[in-house]
Structure 1
């Protein structure tokens, strides 16, 4: 049976504008228990920023997180899929590009995100990655 991205993607992704501060994005990630948010400009996908991006591209550089915008921390050379693409395509792209999350777009407008954890839960919820993906975070 063919599976499609829309069947497992996280719909209604959290988005921020490119001028949002790194600190604000970090607070959104903390409060919403997210590892990544999409960066949009006028509703169009501009980038993806992960918690690791915030640390490596901003904090480690010694910038002021309240004064630095997420535009400089986000990845803007993105691999994307559409909601009607086969899930195998998303998995292949994750493997080829060594990414854990792929934005799902219609046109240039984000409609979701499919993650390695989503795939693990769909394919084998009892796998180690599946277990980790559903575990509550330690706070």
Structure 2
């Protein structure tokens, strides 16, 4: 089984975040520049929320609000589902399924260590299945 820590070890350690008072347009620009679907909302070192493309679409676009005049704190998801580095991929997949989310901040001792996405989780499962299939094929051929 693969742990969240192992997933983070294979990723860039960079965490993309904005302040709660930042304009939504700045957060959206950051997501576009980095090719990501969500940014963490940090008040100094403290995680206070997450802002996703879904939040933007549902709370800005559908309500005809201005992304220039709206603060991130007004539309962010404040109840952030997080995981610790010791969690297993299978548990994380259950969380993203149950909560219908795509990003999980990894937090340990109140410090954000990184973010894993549903894509990271699916890739991990596919890689594990590939390794298992290769082992089974080697066993059959050797037997």
TM range (shorter): 0.7 to 0.9
How much does 1:84 deviate?
2.0
Aligned pair 1:3/2:2, yes or no?
Answer: yes
Does residue 61 (structure 1) correspond to residue 63 (structure 2)? The answer is yes
Q: How does 1:1-139 map to 2 (within 5 A)?
A: 2-9=1-8, 10=11, 11-124=13-126
TM-score, structure 1 length as denominator?
Answer: 0.81
SS in 2 for 1:124: helix
SS of corresponding position for 1:67? coil
Unaligned 5+ residue runs, structure 1?
126-139
Could you say which structure has the higher helix fraction?
2
- Give the CA deviation at 1:83: 1.2
Q: Are the equivalent residues in 1 in contact too, given 2:92–2:121 (CA < 8 A)?
A: no
Superposition RMSD in Å? 1.8
1:66 shift after superposition: 1.1
- Per-residue CA deviation, residues 24-78 of structure 1 (Å, 9 max, x unaligned), is 1111111111111000112111111111211211232222211111111111112
Q: How many residues align?
A: 125
Q: Per-residue CA shift, 1:71-128, capped at 9, x if unaligned?
A: 1111111211011222222122122222221111112322111111001111116xxx
Structure 2 portions without partners, runs of 5+:
128-143
Larger radius of gyration: 2
